[in-house]
Chain A
Amino acid sequence: MPVDTSKRGRDVSSAVETSRPTAPPAMVTEPVSASRRALLVSGLVAAGGAAVAASRAQSQATPDPMAGHAMSGGAVDPYSAHDSGMAHGNMTMVGQVDHARNGFDPTAMLTDWETGRTEVLPDGRTLRTFEVDAIDVEIEIAPGVFFPAWTFNGRVPGPALRAKEGERLRIVFRNLGSHPHSMHFHGIHSARMDGVQGAGLIDPGEEFVYEFDAKPFGCHLYHCHTLPLKRHMHKGMYGLFVVDPDPARHPEFAAVAASRVLGSPENAEWQELAMVMNGFDTNFDGENEVYAVNTVGQAYMKAPIRIDKSRPVRIYLMNATEFDPINSFHLHGNFFDYYDTGTQLTPTLRTVDVIMQCQAQRGILEFSFADHEDGMYMFHAHQAEFTELGWMGFFDVREAGA
């Protein structure tokens, strides 16, 4: 049989084009319902010659194959985008969190660095003093969902403490909560300052002063180290502890180091964000009901993070998620450099779009939207479950004045 190859080529392409719209409904109709029904009513065939009405009863049980898949007609279409600007359809929490009542706002938390107060020691070094109180607070972690939290300074995560490499640090810790608590810093310090039993773990009403040098530079964390550890962690007792590198100590990468020193001219052009990935087990069954960055589920979906596209972005990212061994960060439409633990001035991973962090793992992400179109760029955990239970948000990328 003679074959006109050019004609066949055209036919195939047109067939592909025309078949595409009908393909998805075909996938969800007969095969599934037939096998499912066969499971429920075995021996259906055995009862041949059944009454006509009885077989009509069968068809009554046959579901409308297009149910739930209708693109029109219904009052509410489950498939339609709920808000075209947001591209997340109906997959969202209902209502708004009262940030004023909570006493902290996830948007403000992104840039709210706690730098304490400084004085110069006789030897010329800087002494930096932080004051942290342990407080019991009920916080709203998703619209209308309240969680009896244990906090540092009334917020979850606790204050994002920021110091400079080589400084002397003094943290005055008061326990105003109902349980014993401590502050255990990831960093280099003596055993006496470790924040475990006998080294700064204090009862309600007591006070302890942790003192050590700020080293190594990097993106660290602190958390309560009282037993039972899981309970004290997932109740909210953790926070970022960032030590900026001293450019004078790293002459070969002085410019990079200087860009990380909060308040320096080189640092001013960066948009720096503090993000702590966390989760909340609201019914205490050992699994999280709400996942988030900076505590409030879907906070950055409801209030996308404004990014000036002309300036580079640096994220101090930490994983404080309890009960799940790892968490992750995925950026849409872009790639980034990653500095694991932030203790290096050159990237440990270049040009990646997903990184994962174990509990207490942290690092620095650097990226730029300079050459991008304006728009909403999504970011989220790439564990789909975490994403859909709250850990997702948007960067609203525009020019500074736009």
Chain B
Amino acid sequence: MTDHIQRSRPPMTRLLLVLVPLAVMLGAFVWIASLDPLRGFNNGAPPVEALTVERTILDRSGISLRVRAGGSEAMVVAQVAVDDAYWTFTQEPAGPIARGDAVWLRIPYPWVLGEAHHINLLTNTGATFGHEIAVAVSTPSPTWGQLRLQAVIGAIVGLLPVALGLMFYPAMKGVGQRGMNFLLALTVGLLAFLLIDTISEALELSAEAAAIFQGSAMVWLAALTSFLLLMAIGRWRGNPEGIALAFYIALGIGLHNFGEGLAIGGAFAAGSAGLGTFLVLGFALHNVTEGIGIAAPMLRARPTLWTFAALTLLAGGPAILGMWAGSLAYAPQWSALALAVGAGAILQVMVEVSAYLVRQNADRQAALMSPAVLVGFLGGIAFMYATAALIKI
């Protein structure tokens, strides 16, 4: 019946049925914009103001802040006080800061090495926005030497452990079905830890970002989108198995390592990195498990040496890129976004590895609850948890 009515409508009618609501919508917008029916609510209250400091740079010329405005109207930074003293500053570019825009404030303040400084930004309405520099240290300038050093650190926390993990491949090759189940469950366990860790870190960073980026909503939606996209791509030609599945795991881990690199690089840029040997070793140990996880689904395939190299680069290389990006252009919202995408990728890999694990066993339901799988899963989480404790400061 309905089908019949649908078909009987001529194309012109159908076009009109779309055009009419469109025209009404357009008219409504014009009416709202021109008549300003909200005027009645204007009670003379000052505009809502928000200012977020995204980056802090301390160098020989003083303190530089990258601030983003998020007010209901354009904002004017009128004065800057550092440690309760009004100080000269210049703004680049000058003038009122439009909603969503970011500017650099350059303050020639003689900051003191190792001490804390409090900056107060005063707008023209008298609203104040505080920014704390907990420990003032010089921000490393992005020289080639610095970038090379960061690449070395990135390699140590990213490439080296993945390569070490993959080196267990020959030893793993001989394991039976139960051993295989254990290793796959171990992979899912470590990914479960990474998923929660990544999401919570992304949420933390998004809370520091300007309100205009809509913190947690951005994180959840970015994670969901990347999960769905990667699932769709992964299932393009059936269920991913073997080397293909290993590549997806490597991609998910790589995205996570990119976020980790961003965090380390951002810490360098903020001048607050106490990145010592212990921290680097902790990261490295933490990531060895990732190599084992990547190797697990390939045990029945015959990967070439090039495959291993490519997997190592895919999973560990982003750590280096993240460090560079973090130290050169750190902003909490971009780090949060990168971590959220990583979280989506990790979830996709968890689903695929679990599916692969189930498919590998004849008794599908029973395999999931077998001791080998449970021990592997919990072991993966426990190992990641324990090694993560090493790198928390």
Contact = CB atoms under 8 A, between A and B. Distances in A.
Given A47-B276, A47-B278, A282-B128, A79 B110 contact: yes
Interface in B120-134: 120, 122-128
A90 B108 contact: yes
B278 A41 contact: yes
Contacts of A53: 149, 152-153, 156
Interface in A65-102: 65-70, 73-79, 82, 90-95
Given A70-B60, A91-B86, A282 B126 contact: yes
A194 to B, nearest CB: 32
A56 interface: yes
Given A33-B137, A53-B156, A145-B126, A58 B60 contact: no
Given A36-B114, A282-B122, A61 B81 contact: no
A108 interface: no
B188 to A, nearest CB: 31
Nearest to A146: B124
B298 to A, nearest CB: 29
A63 B86 CA distance: 26
B275 A77 contact: no
A28 interface: yes
Interface string B115-159: 100001011111110000001111010000010011011001000
B106 to A, nearest CB: 8
Interface in B275-322: 275-281
A144 interface: yes
Contacts of B60: 64, 66-68, 70, 73-74, 77
A82 B153 CA distance: 41
Nearest to B46: A148
Contacts of B126: 145-147, 280, 282-283, 289
B226 to A, nearest CB: 31
B88 A94 contact: yes
A46 interface: yes
B111 interface: yes
Nearest to A69: B110
B277 A74 contact: no
Contacts of B281: 47, 50, 54
B265 to A, nearest CB: 11
Contacts of A252: none
A93 B79 contact: yes
B78 interface: yes
Interface stretch (A181-189, A271-279, A383-391): A383-391
A35 B114 CA distance: 9
Given A78-B108, A92-B86, A93-B79, A57 B149 contact: yes
A44 interface: yes
A46 B60 CA distance: 34
A304 to B, nearest CB: 17
A32 interface: yes
B366 interface: no
A41 B274 contact: yes
A67 B114 CA distance: 11
A43 B273 contact: no
Contact of B86 (A283, A285, A298): A298
A143 interface: yes
A111 interface: no
A33 B78 contact: no
B293 to A, nearest CB: 24
Chain A interface size, under 10 / 10 to 19 / 20 to 34 / 35 or more: 35 or more
A262 interface: no
A169 B137 CA distance: 63
B271 interface: yes
A283 B108 contact: no
Contacts of B393: 40-42
Interface in B76-120: 76, 78-81, 84-89, 106, 108-115, 120
B61 interface: yes
B113 A28 contact: yes
B185 interface: no
Given A78-B108, A389-B86, A68 B58 contact: yes
B86 A78 contact: no
Contacts of B127: 282-283
A298 B275 CA distance: 43
A14 interface: no
Contacts of A82: 88
Interface string A366-396: 0000000000000000000100111000000
A37 B76 CA distance: 38
A18 interface: no
Contact of A44 (B80, B153, B276): B276
Nearest to B114: A32
Given A68-B111, A145-B124, A388 B76 contact: no
Most buried by B among A42, A68, A93: A68
A144 B124 contact: yes
A5 interface: no
Nearest to A59: B149
A334 interface: no
A50 B284 CA distance: 12
A237 B156 CA distance: 66
A145 B86 contact: no
A78 B153 contact: no
B27 interface: no
A56 B276 CA distance: 9
B122 A145 contact: yes
A143 B109 CA distance: 19
A289 B149 contact: no
Contact of B274 (A40, A74, A94): A40
22 contacts: A32-B115, A33-B113, A41-B275, A44-B278, A46-B278, A47-B276, A47-B278, A50-B280, A51-B277, A53-B149, A56-B152, A63-B137, A66-B60, A69-B110, A74-B59, A77-B60, A77-B108, A78-B111, A94-B80, A95-B78, A146-B124, A283-B127
Given A56-B149, A60-B275, A389-B86, 5 more contacts: A33-B137, A68-B138, A77-B108, A91-B86, A94-B89
Interface of A: 28-29, 32-33, 35-37, 39-44, 46-47, 50-51, 53-58, 60-61, 63-70, 73-79, 82, 90-95, 142-147, 280, 282-283, 285, 289, 297-298, 385, 388-390
